[in-house]
Amino acid sequence: MDPTFVVLIYSVGAASVSGLGAVPLMVRARLPLSWIGWSNALAAGLMLGAAYALMVMGLERVTGAEMLGALIGIGFVYWTHAVSGTADLDLNRLEETSPVYGYKVLLSDTLHASAEGVAIGVAMTVSLPFGAFMALAIAVHNIPEATVLAAILTSRGVRLRDAAGLAVAANVSQVLLAIVSFALITAAPALLPWGLGFAVGSLVYLVMVELLPECYRQAGHTSIALVTIVAMGILVLLVGGGM
Amino acid sequence: MNQVFVVFLYGLATALATGLGAVPFAFARRVSPSAIAYANAVASGLMLGASFGLVAEGTDYGSWQTVLGALSGVAFIRLTQVLLRRHDLEFGKVRGGGARQMLLMLIVMTVHSFAEGVAVGVSFGGGMTLAFVIVVAIAVHNIPEGLAISAVLRPRGMSVAACAGWSIMSSLPQPIMAVPAFLLVDAFTRVLPYGIGFAAGAMVFLVLEELLPEAFDRARRPHVALVVSLTLVGMMVFQRFL
């Protein structure tokens, strides 16, 4: 099978899984705030674990390019947030009803998904098993993230079905960026360390700017720290198991 | 010279290097309240980067052991935290929450030095040929740890000299643990992944439970996030080139 097609299948899978994020809202129409906090923490832990995995992959091929790639990754997300006016955006305001806020949340989730797309694409160029692992990690991470987005959308009057659809749609950029970065690095393998660095930098920055600050106000510090660490630990076990 | 004594001396030298981490704070004229946010962010980045490095090393010896060690590290720090909260603490003229954070930081970093000491001893166990290189690497690697400790102690009112002193204190378990680990390499190689995991779990928990939430409370999110991620990347590069 054409490798680009494999990347397409995996990244489409990861993106569509986010529809499952609406499931908790079928059980309870209004989620308790602490559940949203734990969803964010789970997403944060998986994302940090993914960054760790990408870092470990880069260990043997350490170059200045990787460090510069990481700086570009951090700078890129910082800059896109600043330009799109989403730098200080609180992504979890259930009571906010202005249409501008809704668009900003969707925009910033799309930007977030793009960085994850690069992570999947880069991991796929390292090896197919590592790429599949990364797609799985991002897919599972997409679920709690979509739960948060769906909770915001439904509290603003969007139907649950549509909220699930929008959560998947916000991740379309993930598929696009996965394929583009895979194709680019396959064509020019010298770009791999840059890509690895970019993915690590952007994932870490996104965790710090979007996921963690929110959840500390939604649930206790201790439970947030525990959920995040356990999620990271699971990925460490998976990476350590012979990737 | 006796090899055991050499290992101890080398370990001591690496502990002293930790004190150098306080030096940058001698140049900061005044400590503003928002400085705590950025100092927390710097310490968080350094400790997360150090933990990533430790875990990567620990999983070479055994993934399950590392993760189990990490969970016990988390439990240990949580317990210490609960115990410390029960008392009205005073530490270096600081009272209450600030004193608790300073003590926790020192406990975490001291515990982490035990694991590092074992790592040093075990790596010496492979032979003395690379000893000097390893010592220089560890000594340099300890400087950011002193930096992280000082970043927590200094903005809460500790003097620069005291920051340096406490940094060195926190690293003293390194030479103490290096010697038995060097003598009993085989036994210690088996416990090494647990110890490394324990240290990493303790550090990550402290970062996520105490340092980051406070940083986000006191400064704008993009700025905190920027400082944490830049320091983390810096720490990863730093560890890898050494």
User: pLDDT tens for residues B3-60?
Assistant: 778 777 877 888 888 898 888 888 776 666 677 788 889 989 988 988 888 888 888 8
Q: How many CB atoms neighbour CB A65 within 10 A?
A: 18
- Is residue A243 predicted with pLDDT exceeding 50? no
Question: Which chain B residue is nearest to residue A225, measuring alpha carbons?
Answer: B208
- Is residue A94 predicted with pLDDT exceeding 80? no
CA distance A136 to A13: 9
pLDDT attached to residue A61: 58
Q: Quick one: which of A41, A152, A159, A42 has its CA closest to A106?
A: A152
- Provide mean pLDDT across the span A143-157: 88
SS3 B91: strand
- Provide mean pLDDT across the span B84-96: 75
> Does the CA dihedral A46-A50-A55-A59 come out positive or negative?
positive
- What are the CA-CA distances from residue A7 to residues A46, A134, A202 (Å)? 20, 11, 20
| Amino acid identity for residue A161 in this structure | R
Residues of B in Cβ contact (< 8 Å) with A224: 208-209
- Is residue B242 predicted with pLDDT exceeding 70? no
In contact, A34 and A147? CB cutoff 8 Å: no
pLDDT bin (cut points 50, 70, 90) of residue A91 is: confident
Question: Which chain A residue is nearest to residue B49, measuring alpha carbons?
Answer: A52
DSSP designation for A63: -
Tokens found for residue B213: 């939430």
Residues of A in Cβ contact (< 8 Å) with B64: 237
CA distance A41 to A165: 23
ipTM value, please give it: 0.91
Q: pTM to 2 decimals?
A: 0.88
- Is residue A52 predicted with pLDDT exceeding 90? yes
Quote the crossing angle between the two packed helices B173-183 and B185-206, to the nearest 10°: 150
pLDDT attached to residue B45: 92
Residues of B in Cβ contact (< 8 Å) with A71: 230, 233
B contact test, residue of A42, A59, A204 with most B CBs within 10 A: A204
> Does the CA dihedral A52-B238-B142-B12 come out positive or negative?
positive
pLDDT attached to residue B208: 94
- Provide mean pLDDT across the span B183-194: 82
Find the length of chain B.
242
CA distance B181 to B207: 29
CA distance B37 to B48: 16
pLDDT bin (cut points 50, 70, 90) of residue B120 is: confident
